[in-house]
């Protein structure tokens, strides 16, 4: 199944929130990658389509790597997963983040692959070159 994900790097969360804010009112979407149980990257997938009503990840364009889950934004403060979100969650990893306005460190939620809320710690880490090897 893969490693247990316990946290997200603060800089990675900030990137996700900034990307979500900059694309608003269109939704942002990406894949999450983890190292040693900590989400450290948001991967942008070629061919991703984005609109005010949703974002569509082209999973067949997904890079050949293990992903921890997905991240996407909603254009409203409602951070509950839609039926389409739940379908995506069931196909792509165990950690799924939804961010919404005002796109701050308090305006996001994390879910498991079934759409149940799950804890995810925000961790201050210093990125080093070996972290990305």
Q: What is the pLDDT of residue 33?
A: 93
User: Can you tell me the distance from the alpha carbon of 35 to that of 31, in angstroms, rounded to the nearest whole number?
Assistant: 14
Domains of the chain: 7-118 (3.40.140.10)
d(CA 57, CA 38): 22
pLDDT string in tens for the chain (133-residue length):
457 999 999 999 999 999 999 988 988 889 999 999 999 999 877 545 554 565 555 554 555 557 899 999 998 999 999 998 998 898 888 999 999 999 999 999 999 999 999 999 999 987 765 545 5
Alpha helix (H) residue ranges in 31-103: 83-89
Grouping H, G, I as helix, E, B as strand and the rest as coil, residue 108 is strand
Instruction: Catalogue the active-site residues.
Output: 27
């Amino acid at each position: 199944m893969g490693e247990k994900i316990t946290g997200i790097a603060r800089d990675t969360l900030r990137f996700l929130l900034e990307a979500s804010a900059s694309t608003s009112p269109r939704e942002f979407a990406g894949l999450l990658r983890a190292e040693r149980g900590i989400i450290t990257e948001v991967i942008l997938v070629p061919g991703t389509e984005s609109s005010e009503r949703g974002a569509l990840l082209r999973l067949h364009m997904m890079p050949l790597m293990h992903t921890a889950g997905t991240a996407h934004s909603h254009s409203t403060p409602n951070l509950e997963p839609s039926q389409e979100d739940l379908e995506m969650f069931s196909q792509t990893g165990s950690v799924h983040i939804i961010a919404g306005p005002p796109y701050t460190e308090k305006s996001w939620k994390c879910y498991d692959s079934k759409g149940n809320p799950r804890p995810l710690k925000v961790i201050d880490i210093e990125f080093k070159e070996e972290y990305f090897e």
